[in-house]
Amino acid sequence: MLAGNVPSEKLYVKNGFTVVQALTLHYDDIGDQDAKVLEYCI
């Protein structure tokens, strides 16, 4: 999930996901974008 997408992050966290890593993704057309990796804990 791209960082800054607060509605999406709230939905995932509400449904049991946790942020496990922050990283930077590179796109040729828009450049570097911060992202968060989420994990579902069962």
Nearest to 3 by CA among 19, 27, 16, 15: 19
- Runs of H (alpha helix) within the chain: 6-14
Q: What is the pLDDT of residue 11?
A: 96
Condensed to tens digits (0 to 9), the pLDDT of residues 1-42 reads 999 999 999 999 999 999 999 999 999 999 999 999 999 988
Phi/psi region, residue 8 (left: phi>0; alpha: psi -120 to 50; beta: rest), is alpha
Q: What is the pLDDT of residue 41?
A: 82
Q: Give the global pTM.
A: 0.74
Q: What is the pLDDT of residue 38?
A: 96
